[in-house]
Amino acid sequence: MLPKPRCAVTESATEAKRSPLHDAHLALGARIVPFAGWEMPVQYAGILAEHKAVRENAGVFDISHMGQFLVSGPTAESALNGLLTNNIATLAPGQAQYTLLLNERGGVLDDLIAYRLADDRFLLIVNASMIEEDAAWLTPRLADAGAGFENISDQCAAIAVQGPEAAAVFGKMMPGSELPPRNGLATFETPTGTVHVCRTGYTGEDGFELICPVAGGAFWLQRALDGGAIPCGLGARDSLRLEMGYPLNGSDLSPDRTPLEAGLGFFVDLRKDAFIGRDALVAQKKHGLHSKLCALRMNEKSPPPRPHYPVLSNGNEIGELTSGGLSPSLGAGIGMAYLPVAFSAVDTALQIAIRGKTFAAVVVKKPFYRKDVPASD
């Protein structure tokens, strides 16, 4: 069960947007569901099989629903530094960083990846449910700073190849080309047009994202499949990211929670003179946090924990799950919740209320899943 995105639309599937890869998904036998205003594949052979494929080999996801923005001009760097939490100035061309867009209260509007294409040109990858809202937020502020802004989301198709064999798949997709390093980007001119290959990921495995013109999307998906990648849907993408403790915007991240509460302080550079939300974060850091986003693992056999299930301490509700589900790698229920600091220490014993019953859980360290630790640990 996927968490409902905060800005998910309620229109019927016939009114939702379709990925440039839609026909390919149908040919591959995908189960299509509405997600963030799109018709997207939730699974093909099955979530467990697809999850295993990414952990052990390589899987390919359609991420064409994500948003792509270009920010350019001599003031682009300084303009973005006034809007995003991380320090854009530290990026050389071909480098990327995870960063956040905040409101004045320090709450998270969106989390995104920023890539520096050139000295005065940046590519931002934003969440599907936030494309219009992010564009509306950024456009006037960038214009006031003299920077150019272009929403190219409708012009792009994108796939993500993830897993320990991802590099081998790339070698078959683009023989003779080299993958960029981790958190890097390389640009290739191909018969399908300009292709950006980024090496970030959302699964905890090695991998890359390929962004291309819409007309080339099906070609590159087929190249990934021919290279050995297994088609994977949103279900496996969610279980993989949850095992790593990666937050989902609209569920684990929201305008009412700051990146400090979410454990994302590493991606906030308070040494910068100013950015939207900075004053609120400085004040919060000075006075201390009241709650933290914590990882919880079920301590006994139970139905899968789901978002919004109550978290209890000695029968008293202290929070609710923001994300939750069964970890295929661990064979146990896992989830995340904002908890009062007094209950946030690792090994704190708690309970999760599921379908009218309570089940034992414990606060654990993120990530839930580590390849070097046996599942029984």
Q: What homologous superfamily does CATH list for 290-377?
A: Aminomethyltransferase beta-barrel domains (2.40.30.110)
Q: Distance (Å, rounded) from C-alpha 210 to C-alpha 98?
A: 17
Compute the radius of gyration of the chain from its Cα atoms: 21
Sequential pLDDT tens for the chain (377 residues): 333 333 333 334 347 899 999 999 999 999 999 999 999 999 999 999 999 999 999 999 999 999 999 999 999 999 999 999 999 999 999 999 999 999 999 999 999 999 999 999 999 999 999 999 999 999 999 999 999 999 999 999 999 999 999 999 999 999 999 999 999 999 999 999 999 999 998 999 999 999 999 999 999 999 999 999 999 999 999 999 999 999 999 999 999 999 999 999 999 999 998 999 999 999 999 999 999 999 999 999 999 999 999 999 999 999 999 999 999 999 999 999 999 999 999 999 999 999 999 999 999 999 999 886 554 43
Nearest to residue 344, comparing CAs of 288, 295, 287? 295
Q: Distance (Å, rounded) from C-alpha 25 to C-alpha 39?
A: 10
Q: What homologous superfamily does CATH list for 13-64+154-243?
A: Probable tRNA modification gtpase trme; domain 1 (3.30.1360.120)
- Residue 84 carries which DSSP code? B
Q: Which helix (H) or strand (E) holds 188?
A: strand 185-190
HEC secondary structure over 269-295: CCCCCCCCCHHHHHHHHHHCCCEEEEE
184: phi then psi, degrees, rounded to nearest 5: -120, 175
Q: Distance (Å, rounded) from C-alpha 227 to C-alpha 166?
A: 9
What pTM was estimated for this model as a whole? 0.93
pLDDT at 9: 30
pLDDT at 10: 33
pLDDT at 5: 33
- All structural domains of the chain with their residue ranges: 13-64+154-243, 290-377
pLDDT at 281: 98
pLDDT at 373: 59
Rounded-to-10 torsion of CA 336, 339, 343, 349 = -40
Q: Distance (Å, rounded) from C-alpha 94 to C-alpha 186?
A: 6
